Amino acid sequence: METAPAQSDQPKSFSIKLWPPSEKTRLMLVEGMTKNLSTESIFSRKYGLLTVEEATEHAKNIEDTCFKSACEHFDREPDGDGSSAVQLYAKETSKLMLEVLKKGPKSKEEKDIIIDSPKQKVFDISQGKRSFIEAEEAKELLTPLTEKGNGYSKIIFSNRSFGIEAAKLAEPILASLKDQLKEVDISDFVAGRPEDEALEVMRIFSSALEGCILNYLNLSDNALGEKGVRAFGSLLKSQHNLEELYLMNDGISEEVAKALTELIPSTDKIKVLHFHNNMTGDEGAISIAELLKSSPLLENFRCSSTRVGSEGGIALVEALKGCEHLKKLDLRDNMFGVEAGLALSKTLEKLNDISELYLSYLNLEDKGAIAVLEAIEKYLPKIEVLEMAGNDITVKASKALASCISSKKMLKKLVLSENELKDEGAVRIATALEDGHVELREVDLSSNMIRRVGARSLARAMAKDKPKLTMLNINGNYISDEGIDEVKEILKEDLLGPFDENDVDGEEDDGDEDEEAEEEEEEEEEEEKEDVDAKLEKLKVNDE
């Protein structure tokens, strides 16, 4: 774990980051799994005992697989300290260990790189540590692909860096599979290579795969730039049936985005399109918008961390109006601003199937946030995940926020961290979440200037009929020690996030604000009591 100073407006607090774990921690986990997998147990008596060598191999593969999965989770759904990624990491390692124990020792004929499923046969060489591959190793690794009738429909070459000679050896093998390949993952497959060599490897793979009728293509993590995208030109131009395209962390600038619109012949069947972590900017976003206009079947669009400002943001959300099948929209960490937020609110009127909406760090401010929230309340009946962290949302927008939340009974996750909702906003949100939200799993109002009253109100709401709740995060606020004790009495401690960033002193105490929040909470409790009394009185009348 590493510690880092918190934000400047909270000088006394510190951030403890749980993710990613250190290399030492990962190695210790592998050692522990190796010991467990190779020790006598009820599983070994029933299925056979693994050798230390087998156990070590399995442990390394399990840890690497789960580490990648948790990294992707943290990338998709950053939660500050990474606690949810740690939970996923631990849960998945335990699950895969159990599968290995139940399977027992491998037979000599089994190959790790073959994964069978009811729908397809997958050839995967991505497991283990990242490594450079030259011709001799490539020949050995790819041998199963040369066997007649091998039946592979998906290949995963990521995490292995191909040199030119290895690529040349792979070229005829891949070309021989053109009629059967449906999914190709060549993300992160030239890491550490000089630019000229990497571009030549891309051209070789592109030529070999040209003409495959693919429905899935992943070219992420290859630092493509315009040269790289054009190196894949022949492959991209031959694709008319793509349903999923991933171009994340590829250095996609304005020029690259424009090149993509020229090279991709058709997106009319695209359902998943991801551009996360690029330097697209406004002009690049305008080019991507052209792809969106011809993607009527799009269900999952991600354009997060792409340096898109107001002009590009407006272009993107305007283009999304035609994507009426959209279920998941992720625009996090851009510089949209209020005007793009207003444009987004108009687009949401058309996107009634959205269930997951990620709008954190878009500079929406109150005006943009209110417009978006009103649209969500009116037009998105299926919403399950709503993230609007870091948008400068204040108490002014809390009524619209509470009204929207109150109507979304299927909500599973709500993230409003790093705003300025204070106690008044927290009390309103707590009231909105009190009744009927039985699917709720996670609520995050960390770093919102919340004090004792707001924290207590949120805890009470979470303690009421929330059978699936796993986390209430109110860290990074100004809750007194007494307030923390009250919260822990109201809600089970294992459902509370940490309080390591909480500042018990906070800013200068605003007595008026606390009194107003107290009065609002008391009024709501009194109204609830009166409502209960009225219902009881009605029951008495009916009994008579």
Domains in the chain: ranges and CATH? 23-103 (1.10.246.200), 119-244+257-262 (3.80.10.10)
428-461 confidence digits (pLDDT tens)? 999 999 998 999 999 999 999 999 999 999 999 9
Distance CA 376, CA 42 (A): 52
pLDDT-based confidence at residue 522 (cuts at 50, 70, 90): low
pTM, two decimal places: 0.75
Q: By the 8 A CB rule, do 341 and 368 touch?
A: yes
Residue (of 480, 283, 319, 417) closest to 15 by Cα position: 417
Q: Which amino acid is at 412?
A: K
Per-residue pLDDT at 364 exceeds 80? yes
How far from 234 is each of 173, 213, 261, CA to CA, in Å? 18, 13, 14
Mean pLDDT within 148-174: 95
Q: By the 8 A CB rule, do 437 and 411 touch?
A: yes
Distance CA 86, CA 96 (A): 16
Side-chain-facing half-sphere of 35: CA atoms under 13 Å = 6
The predicted structure's pLDDT at residue 53:
66
At CA 448, angle to CA 442 and CA 450, rounded to 5?
A: 95
Residue (of 122, 186, 124) closest to 154 by Cα position: 122
The predicted structure's pLDDT at residue 85:
79
Classify residue 511 by burial, with Cβ atoms within 10 Å: 0-12, 13-18, 19+. Answer: exposed
The predicted structure's pLDDT at residue 512:
52
Q: By the 8 A CB rule, do 513 and 422 touch?
A: yes
Mean pLDDT within 186-211: 95
Residue (of 309, 311, 372, 374) closest to 344 by Cα position: 372
385 or 57, higher pLDDT: 385
The predicted structure's pLDDT at residue 223:
83
Mean pLDDT within 145-173: 95
Q: By the 8 A CB rule, do 185 and 156 touch?
A: yes
Distance CA 194, CA 202 (A): 12
Distance CA 107, CA 205 (A): 33
